[in-house]
């Protein structure tokens, strides 16, 4: 079963618009971590944020904000006043201990390709 | 400080040949991870090391794949008798230590093309 779903394959908006990237996850663990990564055209994955399952406070960092809702198993990412430099593929990822080791790799969604048009 | 480095950045090889991909993690990071990124499969986790030990190798796609880490630092991913379906970008990541809580920092990847 797919554990991280990013239903939006591609989003295209005009610069300065706000845009929200959706992420829905599935886990049997009560303790888990969620992450967002950015992959610009250069290809290197860049860490954006980590959130643990016990902390449902929303977080804001500059133009970026994250909304974590356990009730809907979602961890959505909003970019306010988007800029061309925000164009990239964004990945949501899950880290859980279900498989036993507590240290297995991240389970990634398929990614959302965000295009910001000038 | 220096990030995760990988070499080579690009590798073109003929079907049936062996290849070695190298990863140099961030200094002080004890955990190291290998992933594969392809159009069809997205980002797949392959294997991780805590120190020199790889507790679980079940994520490796086939027995043609192996990985080792020596001295708690550099790691090599070896693919024997390469097949066309092995073509992908191989990403390495490191984190301070293993465990769910720690973010992983990724290298630029090695793009492998099997002809």
DSSP per position, B36-54 = EEETTTEEEEEEEEETTB-
How far away is chain A from the Cα of B101, in angstroms, using its nearest Cα?
A: 6
* Alpha-carbon B4 to chain mean position: 11
pLDDT at A94: 92
Is the CB of B39 inside 8 Å of chain A's CB atoms?
A: no
Backbone angles phi, psi at A86, to 5 degrees: -80, -10
Q: Is B43 close to A91, i.e. CB distance below 8 A?
A: yes
* pLDDT given for residue B89 in this prediction: 97
pLDDT tens across A37-49, in order?
Answer: 999 998 899 999 9
**How confident is the model over A73-85, as pLDDT tens digits?**
999 999 999 999 9
Do B13 and B67 touch, CB atoms closer than 8 A? no
Instruction: List the single residue in A31, A37, A108 with the smallest CB-CB distance to B42.
Output: A108
Contact B60/A at CB under 8 A: no
Nearest C-alpha neighbor of A108 from the set B43, B31, B114, B11: B43
- A76 Cβ contact partners less than 8 Å away, ≥ 6 residues apart: A20, A21, A22, A23, A66, A67
Among partner residues A44, A91, A97, which is closest to B100 by beta-carbon distance?
A97
Over residues A1-47, the pLDDT tens digits come to: 559 999 999 999 999 999 999 999 999 888 888 999 999 998 899 99
Q: Residue A55's pLDDT band (boundaries 50, 70, 90)?
A: confident
Which of B90, B63, B77 minimizes the C-alpha distance to B19? B77
The pLDDT of B18-33, averaged and rounded, is 94
Does the beta-carbon distance from B56 to A101 stay under 8 Å?
yes
Q: Is A15 exposed, middle or buried (0-12, 13-18, 19+ CB in 10 A)?
A: middle
Q: Which residue of A has its CA nearest to B106?
A: A45
Q: Mean pLDDT throughout A47-55?
A: 89
User: Hey, is the C-beta of B101 within 8 angstroms of any chain A C-beta?
Assistant: yes
Mean pLDDT of B11-16: 98
State residue B62's pLDDT score: 93
Query: How high is the pLDDT of residue A97?
Result: 61
């Amino acid at each position: 079963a797919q554990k991280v779903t990013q239903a939006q394959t591609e989003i295209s908006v005009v610069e300065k618009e706000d845009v929200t990237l959706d992420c829905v996850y599935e886990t049997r663990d009560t303790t888990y971590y969620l992450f967002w990564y950015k992959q610009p055209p250069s290809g290197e994955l860049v860490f954006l944020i980590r959130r643990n399952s016990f902390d449902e406070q929303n977080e804001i960092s500059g133009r970026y904000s994250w909304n974590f809702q356990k009730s809907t198993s979602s961890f959505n990412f909003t970019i306010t006043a988007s800029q061309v430099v925000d164009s990239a593929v964004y990945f949501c990822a899950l880290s859980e201990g279900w498989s036993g080791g507590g240290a297995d790799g991240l389970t990634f969604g398929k990614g959302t390709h965000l295009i910001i048009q000038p | 400080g220096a990030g995760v480095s990988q070499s080579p950045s690009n590798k073109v090889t003929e079907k049936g040949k062996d290849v070695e991909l190298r990863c140099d993690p961030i200094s002080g990071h004890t955990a190291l991870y290998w992933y594969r990124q392809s159009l069809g499969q997205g980002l797949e986790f392959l294997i991780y090391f805590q120190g020199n030990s790889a507790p679980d190798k079940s994520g490796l796609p086939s027995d043609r794949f192996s990985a080792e880490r020596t001295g708690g630092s550099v790691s090599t991913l070896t693919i024997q008798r390469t097949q066309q379906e092995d073509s992908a970008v191989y990403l390495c990541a490191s984190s301070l230590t293993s465990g769910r809580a720690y973010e992983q920092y990724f290298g630029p990847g090695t793009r492998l093309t099997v002809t």
